[in-house]
Amino acid sequence: MYRRMFPLRQYQIVANVLMVLATLWFIGTFVANMCICIPVDSFWHRLEPGRCLDFNLFFLVNGIIEILIDAAILILPIWVVQTLHMPLKTKVLVMGIFLLGGLYVKSLTVPQAKHAIS
């Protein structure tokens, strides 16, 4: 949606890079989740011989990188809105509308962080 809204060349490049990065991160995380234990059967049967990644560290790093990707996507339209020729008050309101997506990100990450700490 953002790519259609802002047809600037630089913006398109950054949006495409973020899209590819998010897709590759999803694929990599999906594969890592499938292979978190080698052999896979040792995930369910802990007494079986095999080795597993550190679950806590894996999901912590995964969560941090996903938050960074979400923040980059969230901030992406802000620098374009700053260049628009409109009154400052209108710019701030438009930026606020775009940043409302941050409430969604925060609503997901805060409960997860509280759960991870406890």
Helix (H) or strand (E) holding 52: strand 51-52
- pLDDT digit string (tens) for 57-104? 888 888 889 888 888 888 888 888 888 899 999 999 988 888 887 777
Helices (H), the chain: 2-5, 9-34, 55-75, 78-82, 88-99, 101-117
The pLDDT value given to residue 108: 67
What is the pLDDT of the chain when averaged over all its residues?
Answer: 82
Whole-number pLDDT of residue 117 = 60
Other Cβ atoms less than 10 A from the Cβ of 31: the count is 10
**pLDDT band at residue 1 under the 50/70/90 scheme:** low
Q: How large a percentage of the chain has pLDDT more than 90?
A: 19
Predicted TM-score of the model (pTM): 0.72
CB within 8 Å of 52: residues ≥ 6 apart: 36, 37, 38, 42, 43
Alpha-carbon separation of residue 16 from 50, 52, 63 (angstroms):
39, 34, 22
Residue 19 has pLDDT above 60, yes or no: yes
